[in-house]
Amino acid sequence: MSEPFVTRNDITSWGRVVREPQHVATPRFLDQLPPLVDAARNSSLLASGLRRSYGDSCLNGDGDLIDMSKLDRIIHFDSANGILRAAAGASFSAILQLIVPHGWFLPVTPGTRFVTLGGAVANDVHGKNHHTAGTFGRHVRAIGLLRSDRGRLTLTPQTEPSLFASTVGGLGLTGLIEWVEIDLVKIDSAYLESETVPFENLDAFWDITEASAEKFEFTVAWVDCLARGDNLGRGIFSRADWTPYGSFDSHRDGTLKRIPADAPNFVLNRMSISAFNELYYRVNKARSGKKLQHYAPFFYPLDAVHGWNKLYGGKGLLQYQCVVPRATERTAIRTLLETIAADGQGSSLAVLKTFGDLPPVGLLSFPRAGTTLALDFPNRGAATLALLARLDAIVAEAGGALYPAKDGRIPSDMFQRSFPRWQELQRDPLMSSDFWRRVAI
């Protein structure tokens, strides 16, 4: 351990499977970062944000970790032109509370607002508007990067195109991201007109998603991964556009409910998940149709409950998110759902989304044209790992890839096959992570 890093046992990723101690420093000012880089020169280093990555890409158990979450200052907000520069630890939640009353919104957002700007760049996150806006990195104007071998740099797509492409989606391995400048998008209110459309099987999903892609800015589907036979792939499709109706009120974080402790491991079993899926499908089918909806429940439904990952019990959860290309998506998604349903280790949180054709700017960005499927599995040890290995084989045969931000156990050969340019990453010689040591051998 390097001074002034201290050993902490409370640092985990969102999946909470890895429980190894971490050596952590928590700076409050950007000027503290160069001395921390010097202090870690005999070890390895990684920046960490709010740790909503599920696997081990945000952990560095063999080295040192810098908790960036206190480096959250807004550096500049141009409310006339929609340009924001903030320190890397600024959360999407805090940014939204600043910009929404001025009529601006984030260009791309994942399914939680409790991510940092630096984490959004490092994982080149995507959202429900990928088919219209691409990934977050496409909207980044500049990045302040501190490297152990080159000092402080300002990256733009024009001035440092190669290092910029490595840093966007680069898993925090190209240096410490100190600040980020982004373009915002104009909104006419804080509300969307959303529509809920139930679909009875996978064929119906493809019909709805094709009909919605050109008409709606935001699309996503929940799918019942335990449904079989004629109902295989049934689910609830959500689509929406911004509306001028409503005010510019931002969300509030002070009234969120909290999960105080781990749920017993037996709570989430095939029977309970099947019952939940059946209820969720029927309730939302009954509520189908259009409605005016604030951005918070539409984009961030799970954020309503702090610590929802504790519902998966003390052993944690393994999220599995893959993307399969357009040429093989229909066969591969069907085979994946058939395999999951037959195995019985279901997920109550299964998301199906079609990515658009806009290419990412990041060298290791996960999104690509095709369809992505994301599922949360309670960690049942060998049984869960065996199921995920079978899913790996289906994804590999389809020419697909797994999402490093969600991964906790991808084999190195599959990572390297999924990201064939991984060796071109301009990694800072000091930066590393548990994930990188596992996959880049």
- pLDDT score for 269: 74
- pLDDT score for 362: 97
Condensed to tens digits (0 to 9), the pLDDT of residues 158-174 reads 999 999 999 999 999 99
Which portions of the chain are predicted below pLDDT 50? none
CA distances from 287 to 111, 190, 235, 282, 352 (A): 22, 22, 13, 9, 20
- pLDDT score for 77: 98
- pLDDT score for 91: 98
- pLDDT score for 433: 97
- pLDDT score for 272: 78
Which residues, at least 6 apart from 37, have a Cβ–Cβ distance to it below 8 Å?
Answer: 45, 146, 148, 176, 430
Quick one: three-class SS letters along the chain?
CCCCCEEECCCCCCCCCCCCCEEEECCCCHHHHHHHHHHCCCCCEEEECCCCCCCCCCCCCCCEEEECCCCCCEEEEECCCCEEEEECCCEHHHHHHHHHHHCEECCCCCCCCCCEHHHHHHCCCCCCCHHHHCCHHHHEEEEEEEECCCEEEEECCCCCHHHHHHHCCCCCCCCEEEEEEEECEECCCCEEEEEEEEECCHHHHHHHHHHHHCCCCEEEEEECCCCCHHHCCCEEEEEEEECCCCCCCCCCCCCCEECCCCCCCCCCCHHHHHHHHHHHHHHHHHCCEEEEEEHHHHHCHHHHEECHHHHHCCCCEEEEEEEEECCCHHHHHHHHHHHHHHHCCCCCCEEEEEECCCCCCCCCCCCCCEEEEEEEEECCCHHHHHHHHHHHHHHHHCCCEECHHHCCCCCHHHHHHHCCCHHHCCCCCCECCHHHHHHCC
- pLDDT score for 49: 95
- pLDDT score for 286: 87
- pLDDT score for 255: 62
- pLDDT score for 133: 98
- pLDDT score for 260: 67
pTM tops 0.85, yes or no: yes
List the Cα angle 68/300/205 in 5-degree steps: 130
From CA 388, how far away is CA 318, in angstroms rounded? 9
- pLDDT score for 312: 84
- pLDDT score for 265: 66
- pLDDT score for 313: 84
Cβ neighbours around 383 below 10 Å, total: 13
If you count them, how many residues does the chain have? 441
Q: What's the chain's average pLDDT? A: 93
Condensed to tens digits (0 to 9), the pLDDT of residues 81-115 reads 999 999 999 999 999 999 999 999 999 999 999 99
